[in-house]
Structure 1
Amino acid sequence: MARIDLIKVSKTLTDRKRGAGDAAPHDGRRTAFSLCDLNLSVRHGETMVILGPSGCGKTTLLKIIAGLLPLDTGEVRYDGLDVRDVAPGDRRIGMVFQNYALYPHFESRTNVLSYFLFRKKTPELDALAKAKYQRTSDLMGVDLAHLLDRKPTSLSGGEKQRVALGRCITRDAALFLVDEPFANLDQALREKYRVNLKALLRQFSITTVYVTHDHNEALILADRLAIMNCGRIEQVGTFQEIYDDPQNVFVASFLNLNIAAPPLNLIDGRQLPERLGLGDVLLGVRPEHAQAVHGASAEGTVGVRGVVTSALRLPTSDATSVAARVGDQDVYARAAAEGAPDIGDVVWLTFRRYYLFDKTTGMRVRRHIGAEHA
């Protein structure tokens, strides 16, 4: 196992900028910060999931940790040791990327032992390779054993993943770096192999940095999450910690319990009643923390007035999801399934948990948790 610390890491990537048309000559270079003053600590034996949108720098971060890209400034430390001058092959890293990087002309057995394949043959090395191979086979059991005589071209995506993991374990990796290995699989297979991978990571307790843009994958695999955006780590914590206590608008809007669920509501404070005294801020409230009431049940309610624009019964709960027009936007909320409002009904919205964000910086300036409150 290893502890990984990234300290004020920056990396600038430069690509060429073309003129109109694919065949046009290069007319300059475009420079962009891929990583900017990034700090992150990964504990011994934990699975740290880097979650962020495409293009935010997740894969670049893995390559920096692996030593495949030089950093511009900052430090990468393994167990307190600065590894700037340590070659990638000497960092005891096991890498599992989307294409698995298996040798297609070798059987899986040889792929598992590929760490030893190109080293000078000695009796001691042969003995070590056999011992490592046996240990890996024993640890992974039937999940690996029946694949060893087959070539990668005959393996499914999940089977290739197990061979790639076996290769990492055989070389006694102290750190796994995993980059969206399930991206090309269908949903059913992704669900299955996520669970299998989680079990393996728990069994071996190997420090793992796992990159994904998939919220469900992050929820299943992560001990802790690092939310990444535009080359920066925005917030680190468990899924629940970050979901309940987002530090800024991006984190609150990006992290969702279910990507199919309505997004975080962000309401301009100036659109809400003056009596609330919110001022020039953004109010953020998750749909499950907003309650819509109407008719007789709304009598005496102090809340925000809205008009229902959609209503959908949630089959897995005793509630209805509604959207109510407030000012010039829809606010998503929950309503009791029995006697739920219809489109066009006036409702009153109350919020039992909400966040206030600075409109300029996006940083949270206040959090309210408690009884239902407008």
Structure 2
Amino acid sequence: MTTLFDSHRLGDLTLPNRVVMAPMTRVRAAAGGLATPSMATYYAQRATAGLILTEGVQPSLIGQSNPGTPGLHTDEQVESWRPVTAAVHANGGRISAQIMHGGRVSHSDTTGMQPVGPSAVPAAGDVFTPTGPQPAPVPRALDTADVPEHAQSYAEAARRAVDAGFDGVELHGANGYLISQFLSSNANVRTDRYGGSVTNRIRFAVEATAATIDAVGKTRTGIRLSPGGTFWGVAETDVPVLYAALLTELARLEVAYVHLEATTDEHVLLGLRRAWPGTLIVNPTLPMGPKQTGRTDADHWLGLGADLISFGRAFIANPDLVERLRLGLPIAPVDEATYYQGGDAGYLTYPAYQHTG
């Protein structure tokens, strides 16, 4: 039987284990969306993961969702990421950048611009701004002619990511952000070629993925999806049909992997596993839900056909998570108050397990 500690070939990479560090927003970037020396240390501490996926990185200023997040749309940002990727590689790790366009989940106080989305429908809830949470604004509905520019922004960021030393990229197609908004049946009420039917609703995701593959190659390109997820108020009709159609197109493009979140029933996810012929990463527990992913969840999904398992919160407080899982050591708890507070406390201050003899 496949175990978490078997190697796996992913594109041009050989992963020494099947533990993936899931992307997690930590809002530690410097002004101008620059990566920092602390970020280099943070990711390098976790380099024993088979693959590290970074926090969401905006592909454009208008694509920025939260304050304090890093970008990949300026030369300065590229330069700031190079010490991060170099530190991970020096520790023997592999790291991909998650490219995240926030779409309607943004605010003019953060970017200086009105957010954009598939339709003029605001997200549910408050969004983060430099002065605290504010109600999500009504986005500007993208004109049909403007949509390809935003699909192309993923590709341009991917090109910059490779230039910065990343091993690959993951398109953030989940959790209510721009790709997810186009997949949605309530955030997307368009009547043009990007809205309405399943074929039209998946079009933006497919075009963004195809552009990224054209930019950096299929072996460097993955995508994260949250079938049936309701983050930021999105809703999806015909979830099995919608995602089976999307996976069919992604299979035709031969993306390196699909990363599924457990945001729908297990039998639906198993149907998508059967529909997807390539490498599958599964995040077995609901992101930001009540339960963290553990060894039991990982083994369960490996038995169901997942190739790799992503762990989120457990990696925050356990930089040596792979070793703890391997040896059955206790998983340290995380201090939720330090998730987004900035600074090194709760970021670089979690130690490896202290063995006592």
| TM-score, reference length from structure 2 | 0.35
Larger helix proportion, structure 1 or 2? 2
Larger strand proportion, structure 1 or 2? 1
Q: State which structure, 1 or 2, has the greater radius of gyration over its C-alpha atoms.
A: 1
